[in-house]
Amino acid sequence: VWDAVDTGCCLKTYSCHSCAVRAARWSSCGRRILSGGFDSMLHLTDVETGKQIFSSKNEFRISALKFHPTESNIFICGGFSPEVKAWDIRTSKVLRVYKAAVQQTLDVLFLPEGREFLTSTDAVSRDSADRTIIAWDFQSAAKISNQIFHERYTCPSLTLHPKESMFVAQTNGNYMALFSAQRPYRINKKKRYEGHKVEGFAVGCEFSPDGTLLVTGSSDGKVFFYNYHTARIIRTLSAHKEACASAIFHPVLPSLLATCDWSGEIKIWQ
């Protein structure tokens, strides 16, 4: 945990995993961190005391975690498995299992209100258009739609527009695609955010808090800012020497941006 605004110092380190930590999420209250990784363990850590509030062994290596937007004790866990699981922290048990014919889940995205969510997978073959992005009903664990993205590119990250019913998928075709967040989740063929490079890296993308900008990293170390409405590049930053894996706006101070690269360097931009 870092002091991102003032000193830039590392405040505390939590050593609860035995292998690489692949995913970590703040709880909605901001006092706990949910983490998962290649040791297949799930830990919910109290930030102040460092104690484990919840710990459980998962059946597969974890690469994606997301808290439910309205149920703060429930989260989705995905990784190197055809299954995605919903866990309840209060009981330390799996609530539901969502089964797809894939090898790995790359990202999970809850749609507004949390009744539905999306998973992006590593399925990419001639007949994989029905598995690249899958929409699920959270309560029944049924597939709502698996005919969302028909191009032969995997999508390493998904992000939801903060105000409009739209979401964006980062693709390994070196562009971001725009979709409706309502059934049947149609792609907007008129808008394509391109100019950056992905090239097999798990490059993240995100909207600004007001929804006017779309920011993404790039495998050449740059950060690209796109106008959400026109899909034009507004600005680029030469941020890193290595591939820039993520660029995220501060949730309270929208003028602050955090970026990180493949070598482990993190930068804060004004």
For the segment 156-207, what is each residue's pLDDT rounded down to a tens digit?
999 999 999 999 999 999 999 999 999 999 999 999 999 999 998 999 999 9
Does 114 share its domain with 172? Answer: no
Question: Is the pLDDT confidence value at 92 over 70?
Answer: yes
Residue type, 164: E
**Calpha distance 16→18 (Å, rounded):** 7
Instruction: State the average pLDDT over residues 250-265.
Output: 92
Name the pTM for this structure: 0.92
Burial of 102 (0-12, 13-18, 19+ CB in 10 A): buried
Confidence at residue 102, expressed as pLDDT on a 0 to 100 scale: 86
Confidence at residue 151, expressed as pLDDT on a 0 to 100 scale: 87
Which of these three, 130, 151, 172, is where a domain ends? 151
What is the rounded average pLDDT for all residues in the chain?
Answer: 94
Confidence at residue 252, expressed as pLDDT on a 0 to 100 scale: 87
Does 87 share its domain with 183? Answer: no
Does 214 share its domain with 92? Answer: no
Question: Is the pLDDT confidence value at 131 over 80?
Answer: no
Does 141 share its domain with 178? Answer: no
Question: Is the pLDDT confidence value at 129 over 70?
Answer: no
Does 127 share its domain with 60? Answer: yes
pLDDT level of residue 152 (50, 70, 90 thresholds): confident
Q: Which residue has the tokens 């969502």?
A: 98
CATH number at residue 114: 2.130.10.10
Q: Which residue has the tokens 């799996």?
A: 94
Confidence at residue 254, expressed as pLDDT on a 0 to 100 scale: 84
Question: Is the pLDDT confidence value at 227 over 80?
Answer: yes
Helices and strands: H and E segment counts in the chain: 0, 23
Joined tokens for residue 79: 């990784």
Overall number of domains in the chain: 2
Which of these three, 120, 151, 182, is where a domain ends? 151
Residues 149 and 135: beta-carbon distance below 8 Å: no
Does 103 share its domain with 162? Answer: no
Does 102 share its domain with 165? Answer: no
Does 72 share its domain with 120? Answer: yes
Instruction: State the average pLDDT over residues 3-31.
Output: 92
- Answer with the residue of higher pLDDT: 108 or 3: 108
Confidence at residue 5, expressed as pLDDT on a 0 to 100 scale: 76
C-alpha distances (whole Å) from 249 to each of 25, 70, 75, 88, 201 are 15, 22, 23, 29, 20
- Provide the residue range defining the domain that includes 120: 1-151
**Calpha distance 40→17 (Å, rounded):** 9
Does 11 share its domain with 127? Answer: yes
Does 141 share its domain with 242? Answer: no
Which of these three, 133, 151, 169, is where a domain ends? 151
Confidence at residue 93, expressed as pLDDT on a 0 to 100 scale: 95
